[in-house]
Chain A
Amino acid sequence: DTEVTQTPKHLVMGMTNKKSLKCEQHMGHRAMYWYKQKAKKPPELMFVYSYEKLSINESVPSRFSPECPNSSLLNLHLHALQPEDSALYLCASSQDRTTSTDTQYFGPGTRLTVL
């Protein structure tokens, strides 16, 4: 089973709203990732958690706040977003970022629209 689930599938929010995206995996993976994908572009890495600790932040604005409550769950808290933040947000997980055979598996994404 290589399933990563994400909720919600679609989200529309205003610039003053606070919302959260949720990602879950039950593969025993210890690394989890958030990506942002604009239309017709490749995914861009935002954050990496390894063993529930934030290991990479790709200079993401503070209006995006990640959280890893446990090894199976990854959240992305959103606050005061801008219309240009509208995108597909993808979550991924992998077994262990330090192994050479590490492979990332992606969820279906959350389509976010900021009005």
Chain B
Amino acid sequence: AQSVTQLDSQVPVFEEAPVELRCNYSSSVSVYLFWYVQYPNQGLQLLLKYLSGSTLVKSINGFEAEFNKSQTSFHLRKPSVHISDTAEYFCAVRKAAGNKLTFGGGTRVLVKP
């Protein structure tokens, strides 16, 4: 079975400052990795995913994440956050053969002016 650990449950950050959300996973088989964002009172939106190829993946709104197989990590970064980035961020993994997502506990990002 796989597991996902998001080391920070809450990350307060000032507007225009950088942010990094940490995600580590454990799995005995190959996995695919996802970051989802959940804005207040909304569903989950796919932010970015790593399936294969380049280990650095980027989203259209300035987030990026790097898959590190040796450290079993998939940390999410943004160089400069906006107030609108205030949300809950979930890291998730899925076995290469299968469809069940395993979520981390989530990291709540609060962007302060």
The chain B residues found within 8 Å of chain A, CB to CB, are 32, 34, 36, 41-46, 49, 51, 90, 94, 96-101, 103-106, 108
Contact = CB atoms under 8 A, between A and B. Distances in A.
Contacts of A2: 46
A104 B101 CA distance: 9
A86 interface: no
Given A90-B43, A103-B34, A107-B43, A42 B106 contact: yes
A39 B20 CA distance: 23
Interface residues of A, number: 29
A94 interface: yes
A66 to B, nearest CB: 16
A12 to B, nearest CB: 16
A6 B42 CA distance: 11
B106 to A, nearest CB: 6
A107 B49 CA distance: 18
A100 B96 contact: yes
B106 A41 contact: yes
Interface string A76-115: 0000000000001010101001101111111111010000
A45 B100 contact: yes
Given A98-B99, A106-B43, 14 more contacts: A41-B105, A42-B104, A42-B106, A43-B90, A43-B103, A45-B101, A56-B100, A88-B43, A97-B98, A100-B51, A104-B101, A106-B45, A108-B42, A109-B42
